[in-house]
Structure 1
Amino acid sequence: MQPQIPLTRDLVLIGGGHSHALVLRKWAMRPLPGVRLTLINPGPTAPYSGMLPGHIAGHYRQEELEIDLVRLARFAGARLIDGRAVALDPEAKTVTVEGHGAIEYDVASLDIGITTDLPQLRGFAEHALGAKPLDTYAARWQDFLRTAEASGEADPIAVIGGGVAGVELAMAMAHALRRVTEKARVTLIEAHDQLTGTGEETRQRILAALNENGVTLWTGAEIAEITKDGPRLRTGEIIPSAFTVGAAGALPQPWLQQTGLPLTDGFVNVGATLLVEGHDDLFAVGDCAHMTHAPRPKAGVYAVRAAPVLHDNLRAALTGQALRPFHPQKDYLKLISLGEKSALAEKYGRPWSGPWLWRWKDRIDRKFMLKFQDLPAMDPPAPPRVAALGVAEELGDGQPVCAGCGSKVGPGALSDVLAALPQAGRDDVLRGAGDDAATLDIGGVKQVLTTDHLRAFTEDPALMARITAIHALGDVWSMGAAPQAVLANVILPRMNDTLQRRTLAEIMRAAGEVFRDAGAEIVGGHSTLGSELTIGFTLTGLTGNPIQQSGGRPGDALILTRPLGSGTILAAEMQGKAKGRDVMRMLQVMAQPQAKAAEILRPAHAMTDVTGFGLAGHLMALCKASDTGAEIKLESLLFYDGALELAEAGIRSSLYDANLSHAPLINATGPRGILLHDPQTAGGLLAAVAPDKADALLAKLHENGIPAVRIGRMTEGAPMISCV
């Protein structure tokens, strides 16, 4: 057996720009043993800027121009930290992530792009928006288009910046508006006396294209402020606009000013090897970098061309080898969208235009995106040629075993073993195995005791710790208890002492925050090294009158506080089949505490948290304990985005078959019925409440931003569940 390679170095990629995306893809083909690779980015996707005007014009769907960083990180074996970098200390070798804390590195690289916000313009934040980030701009633009289409007319639009980006967006918006209304009023504002970024002949062709698209051009127009009515010029004149977009050139991310790094006009100075000047462990690429050896304009082509050199130099820096230089080309082909499916090209000052150029540009753009959409399948290890009977059946189709609650022992095996345990007959153990937590009598005070641990399903140890803590707290909250004390149990993959300290610090910082907010305190624990990251917590809680599973009554309304489908989405993500946006949205929900929901549902007759055995399994436990049946309204259930589509496509969590056999349902059809058996991690609270109190409780849950739904009711009769 090959020994597990210990992790010894942290490589941190800050930003999901084009260079870093290409590095991740290349890294996946030949990872460097001993390196833990981390990507930090605010959001699950990174837009390909070359297709942005086409999206605004209506030629591309948003997903067609977004690099799915969740899927790419999984492919590369990297951890993805969803957050915005806001500080970097090159001496301490840390990068601070908003909402996450400090991440330490041995080698790091910056590829954070630029900003199109104009904070120096009074009123910009209140009455305008930058063309980046794409999510905000695209969402606001779609809302604007829908309003224009519904009313048949559009309010005026203004684009600030007469460079290539500004003219492309102005024509793209004008083109999109002409498809929904006859009157499209778009104004392009440039402070200089003429358009910038191209040669004279190309500029004349752009002016003609602007005119054809009905775009009004203001040059020599210096803006004093942005008002609710539109940009006000220094002359006092206001250019009417209800939708003002900033695209005025390349502005550096402002937090770089506080790093102490060498800068030129706010951009990070790098030499020929892409190392930041004066630092042998920090690189910078893309628009955030200034190449002192070969200054170039801000353009994505240089980031793409720099990626192979960056990849090789990162490996060299991590292995003590020599670095190689990057020699950027002197000029590049500019391909400028003209609103409709037509484009203008320029190189060495010579322009070409026509629909054939759009088709060429489209092929180039789609070919680039295909690198990230069509990732090579990573085949599972081949099964042994000779093995004991039953091995082939257990291996099944070779898909990886799920993590989180999808990796739990099946409910039938667990309940059979627990039922066979001898009981000591202690008077202070009021209730043992069978409920969400054991109930103890400690000197007349009722205390609940529970334990839970999870195999990691995300490479981000802080996020994993947060979700695991909330998952473990579910047993305490569902019994109406106040969390008290916590023991932590952590298994780290094999790594050196430095990485052990870094990883444990991230885990305990995140878990400690969750438990402190819940009113509990971590009082100790245990740690060890193993083959993979596993985090667990043992908790106690105090309660005067615990809510048990046995209190349900016929007629009780059933309330569920969270969507279903996490097991299916996690299984799909491991197979590279889930959308990154869906995965990240789900993780964000899973990482939210449920203390408020538990407080509101304190009047429940019976309550449990929906975890590994799925909604069907945990509802069946309520039915058996309460000696009732249950009825579920399939159409009332909430599901995580993407879960229904994945279930219909045949994606199943590892625990699905065991859950299905343990809690069969009547009339559970389609993907909704399938997901009743889906194992949940940090799932919702399932409460049986008096029917006359259900509406008031739901209203209070909704007032507190909790997406709870009434999913059915408890019924008379034998423990069985039917769906309607």
Structure 2
Amino acid sequence: MGKKLVLAGGGHAHMTILAHMRDLVREGHEVTVVQPSDFHYYSGMGPGMLGTTYTPSEIRFATRYVVEGMGGSFIRDKVVRIDAAQRQVILASGQVLDYDVLSCNAGSFIPFDNIHGDTSNVFTVKPIERLQEAQRAVISLCATRTRPHVAVVGGGPAALEIAGNVRKLAKLRGRHEPRITIFAGRQLLSRFPERIGKMTRESFASQDITINEDGYVDEIRNGVIVQGERHHHPDLIFVATGVKPSRLFADSGLPTGVTGGLLVNEYLQSVQHPEIFGGGDCIDFEPSPLDKVGVYAVRQNPVLLRNVRAGLNGTRLQRFDPGGKYLLLFNMGDDTAIFSKGPIIFRNWLGFLLKDFIDRRFMRHFQALER
């Protein structure tokens, strides 16, 4: 007898399940995908979209179209609570769905709670759709102000990619060049090798991007950045302070890890509820901490498919092996990228071509499901 599978989110970690959905339906299972948008945007290409390297259609998957075309059900909504005892999910609309197996790829958010007052000039880098709005705002700003000031709050890879691609956008589509400042806390890229930081500074020096390392931003109030005793008045602000898992699991009383994500075992399975699985940014992997980077979601794809299927059919589970060191590629906005894997670190146009090739190949593979 078929069972009910609910997927909370259709993101990177669920792509292989979506690709095999027709098989699950043929096995007699009822598959439902819940997601706030009909599309899922690939975050790794978001800064490139901001800088006009890619169009929105090139970096998104038509989740609803694929799900319904393969015989599944799609609900444009958001899972706000999981009742594990009753095996039900509650949606923002109030709708309740029963499940036999639940897999969560609920994503992450920018945890900057100190944004107050008027936020019309403030853009978080997630969800990725916000970068489309930000692109229009930057173009308008550079058309109407002689020397506008764009600020990027954050000291990690997302901040540097946004800053570089704002510069590229302004050069290609703006009438006036903006002044760009990264508010990087105490040190830009503090968790990364010193050589990466040096290459970033070289790139930004050539692009006239200023790095502020005078301390962390305390709050953003009515479009003003408060940094200790200093107040900065940029025309537009990007918030790229890093991500945290969805609050869904903590709000549902499920076991969570150090970052607040669903705590899962080596099978990507809830440590308390074996019928609940998860992948991507929304989990904490109990065997060892994992960085919130897309490579792990991609590596989790086949394991999630295998284990969700095991949960439905009663077959053997597969362990997830996170693998070794992963490749880092940062899009600097000047048609170069920083390449880093182990001791090999460089910045040039070849790095950008490699990142572009990898990203486009990933998109082509799964966008093929739309045809």
- State the TM-score bracket (shorter-chain normalisation): over 0.9
Look up the equivalent residue of 1:115 and give its one-letter code. F
Query: Partners in 1 of 2:118 and 2:346 — Cα distance?
Result: 36
What 5-or-longer segments of structure 2 have no aligned partner?
Answer: none
Indicate if the aligned counterparts of 2:249 and 2:255 stay in contact, CA closer than 8 A.
no
Aligned pairs (5 A) from 1:222-371: 222-234=216-228, 236-264=229-257, 265-371=259-365
Structure 1 residues 127 and 358: alpha-carbon distance in aligned structure 2, compared to 1, 3 A threshold: closer
Query: Partners in 2 of 1:313 and 1:225 — Cα distance?
Result: 43
Indicate if the aligned counterparts of 2:48 and 2:54 stay in contact, CA closer than 8 A.
yes
Q: Among 129, 143, 153, which residue is 2:146 paired with?
A: 153
Query: Partners in 1 of 2:249 and 2:118 — Cα distance?
Result: 21
Deviation of 1:152 (Å): 6.1
Query: Partners in 1 of 2:100 and 2:15 — Cα distance?
Result: 20
Residue 78 of structure 2 corresponds to: 84
Deviation string 1:368-419 (CA, Å, 9 cap, x unpaired) is 11122223xxxxxxxxxxxxxxxxxxxxxxxxxxxxxxxxxxxxxxxxxxxx
Look up the equivalent residue of 1:85 and give its one-letter code. V
Query: Partners in 2 of 1:220 and 1:286 — Cα distance?
Result: 33
Deviation of 1:50 (Å): 1.3
Residue 181 of structure 2 corresponds to: 187
Deviation of 1:147 (Å): 4.2
Query: Partners in 1 of 2:127 and 2:141 — Cα distance?
Result: 22
Q: Among 162, 166, 169, which residue is 1:169 paired with?
A: 162
Q: Among 28, 44, 53, which residue is 2:47 paired with?
A: 53
Deviation string 1:686-717 (CA, Å, 9 cap, x unpaired) is xxxxxxxxxxxxxxxxxxxxxxxxxxxxxxxx
Query: Partners in 2 of 1:204 and 1:32 — Cα distance?
Result: 54
Indicate if the aligned counterparts of 1:56 and 1:172 stay in contact, CA closer than 8 A.
yes
Indicate if the aligned counterparts of 1:336 and 1:345 stay in contact, CA closer than 8 A.
yes
Deviation of 1:178 (Å): 2.4
SS for the counterpart of 1:80 is: strand
Residue 88 of structure 2 corresponds to: 94
Residue 21 of structure 1 corresponds to: 15
SS for the counterpart of 2:356 is: helix
Deviation of 1:227 (Å): 2.5
Structure 1 residues 258 and 152: alpha-carbon distance in aligned structure 2, compared to 1, 3 A threshold: closer
Deviation of 1:53 (Å): 1.2
Residue 631 of structure 1 corresponds to: none
Look up the equivalent residue of 1:167 and give its one-letter code. L
Look up the equivalent residue of 2:146 and give its one-letter code. E
Of all paired residues, the percent bearing the same amino acid is 26
What 5-or-longer segments of structure 1 have no aligned partner?
Answer: 1-5, 376-575, 578-724
Indicate if the aligned counterparts of 1:124 and 1:226 stay in contact, CA closer than 8 A.
no
Look up the equivalent residue of 2:233 and give its one-letter code. P
Query: Partners in 1 of 2:25 and 2:343 — Cα distance?
Result: 42
Query: Partners in 1 of 2:42 and 2:206 — Cα distance?
Result: 27
SS for the counterpart of 2:48 is: helix
Look up the equivalent residue of 2:249 and give its one-letter code. L
SS for the counterpart of 2:301 is: helix
Indicate if the aligned counterparts of 1:164 and 1:197 stay in contact, CA closer than 8 A.
no
Query: Partners in 2 of 1:118 and 1:10 — Cα distance?
Result: 36
Indicate if the aligned counterparts of 2:247 and 2:261 stay in contact, CA closer than 8 A.
no
Look up the equivalent residue of 1:315 and give its one-letter code. R
Structure 1 residues 153 and 22: alpha-carbon distance in aligned structure 2, compared to 1, 3 A threshold: farther
Indicate if the aligned counterparts of 1:84 and 1:98 stay in contact, CA closer than 8 A.
yes
Deviation string 1:570-603 (CA, Å, 9 cap, x unpaired) is xxxxxx67xxxxxxxxxxxxxxxxxxxxxxxxxx
Deviation of 1:96 (Å): 1.5
Aligned pairs (5 A) from 1:111-122: 111-122=105-116
Look up the equivalent residue of 2:206 and give its one-letter code. E
Structure 1 residues 339 and 248: alpha-carbon distance in aligned structure 2, compared to 1, 3 A threshold: same
Q: Among 143, 148, 156, which residue is 2:137 paired with?
A: 143
Residue 67 of structure 1 corresponds to: 61
Query: Partners in 1 of 2:20 and 2:87 — Cα distance?
Result: 25
Query: Partners in 1 of 2:367 and 2:94 — Cα distance?
Result: 29
Query: Partners in 2 of 1:241 and 1:255 — Cα distance?
Result: 34
Residue 202 of structure 1 corresponds to: 196
Deviation of 1:229 (Å): 4.2
Query: Partners in 2 of 1:345 and 1:124 — Cα distance?
Result: 38
Look up the equivalent residue of 1:36 and give its one-letter code. E
Query: Partners in 2 of 1:89 and 1:40 — Cα distance?
Result: 16
Look up the equivalent residue of 1:240 and give its one-letter code. H
Look up the equivalent residue of 2:215 and give its one-letter code. A
SS for the counterpart of 2:284 is: strand
Q: Which has the larger radius of gyration?
A: 1
Query: Partners in 2 of 1:246 and 1:331 — Cα distance?
Result: 28
Greater RCO, CA 8 A, separation 6+: 2
Indicate if the aligned counterparts of 1:23 and 1:311 stay in contact, CA closer than 8 A.
yes
Indicate if the aligned counterparts of 1:202 and 1:349 stay in contact, CA closer than 8 A.
no
SS for the counterpart of 2:20 is: helix
Indicate if the aligned counterparts of 2:151 and 2:236 stay in contact, CA closer than 8 A.
yes
Deviation of 1:122 (Å): 4.0
Indicate if the aligned counterparts of 2:111 and 2:242 stay in contact, CA closer than 8 A.
no
Look up the equivalent residue of 1:368 and give its one-letter code. F
Given the alignment of the two structures, is residue 103 of structure 1 paired with residue 117 of structure 2, yes or no?
Answer: no
CA RMSD of aligned residues (A): 2.0
Indicate if the aligned counterparts of 1:118 and 1:124 stay in contact, CA closer than 8 A.
no
Structure 1 residues 289 and 32: alpha-carbon distance in aligned structure 2, compared to 1, 3 A threshold: farther
Indicate if the aligned counterparts of 1:198 and 1:349 stay in contact, CA closer than 8 A.
no
SS for the counterpart of 1:223 is: coil
The range that moved more, 182-191 or 24-33, is 24-33
Residue 213 of structure 2 corresponds to: 219
Deviation of 1:250 (Å): 1.6
Deviation of 1:330 (Å): 2.5
SS for the counterpart of 2:19 is: helix
SS for the counterpart of 2:270 is: coil
Structure 1 residues 360 and 248: alpha-carbon distance in aligned structure 2, compared to 1, 3 A threshold: same
Give the length in aligned residue pairs.
369
Residue 40 of structure 1 corresponds to: 34
Residue 433 of structure 1 corresponds to: none
Query: Partners in 1 of 2:39 and 2:191 — Cα distance?
Result: 28
Deviation of 1:123 (Å): 4.4
Indicate if the aligned counterparts of 1:165 and 1:247 stay in contact, CA closer than 8 A.
yes
Query: Partners in 1 of 2:79 and 2:195 — Cα distance?
Result: 41
Indicate if the aligned counterparts of 1:83 and 1:100 stay in contact, CA closer than 8 A.
no
Structure 1 residues 199 and 32: alpha-carbon distance in aligned structure 2, compared to 1, 3 A threshold: farther
Indicate if the aligned counterparts of 1:117 and 1:130 stay in contact, CA closer than 8 A.
no
Indicate if the aligned counterparts of 1:178 and 1:184 stay in contact, CA closer than 8 A.
no
Query: Partners in 1 of 2:161 and 2:72 — Cα distance?
Result: 35
Indicate if the aligned counterparts of 1:195 and 1:203 stay in contact, CA closer than 8 A.
yes
Look up the equivalent residue of 2:200 and give its one-letter code. I
Look up the equivalent residue of 2:255 and give its one-letter code. P
